[in-house]
Amino acid sequence: MKNNNFKSGKKKDNPFSEALASAMGIEKNDYENQRDINDSKLINQEEVSLKGIVDIYFEKKGRAGKMVTLLDFSGIEGDGLIELSKKIKKSCGVGGSLKKYILLLQGDVRSNCEKMLNDLGLNTKRIGG
């Protein structure tokens, strides 16, 4: 039987980062505080300001029989597409990838995506069956 009680201790300092910080004139504590501030800014950027129509497709042709849902954001204007795609994948509980303006989601999750996008104020249009 495996023992999954992994305990991580304090991470050891990287000598290169200390040398770089001292060369730049930054003390170690200032560097760690700056990193924490930058990380919190990335987490809090969940503003989505998109407008337009999202096309929702369902495909399994050319994908070895695997079902995928495609969301086409090419008719959308605004910022926040990456954050929106992360929210959609998390809410549907599926994996996927964003390539340019098309979000590919694993499985048939058209109804979940449509509901979520409508709740965010985006118009959706189902294309195909």
* Phi/psi of residue 78, nearest 5 degrees: 125, -175
Structure tokens at 66: 């695997």
Which segments in the chain show pLDDT lower than 70? Answer: 1-15, 27-49, 129
* Chain mean position to CA 114: 18
- The model carries a pTM of 0.59
Token couple for 62: 């050319």
Instruction: Mark out the alpha helices in 1-129 (DSSP H runs).
Output: 15-24, 28-43, 81-92, 110-119
The pLDDT assigned to 111 comes to 92
Radius of gyration of the chain (CA): 21
∠ CA(14), CA(20), CA(22), 5° rounding?
105
Q: What is the DSSP letter of 61?
A: T
Predicted local confidence at residue 21, as pLDDT = 73
Task: Please report the pLDDT score of residue 46 as a whole number.
Answer: 40
Both tokens of residue 38?
């930058």
Sketch the domain layout of the chain as residue ranges: 14-44, 49-126
Domain 49-126 coded CATH 3.30.780.10: yes
pLDDT of residue 20: 73
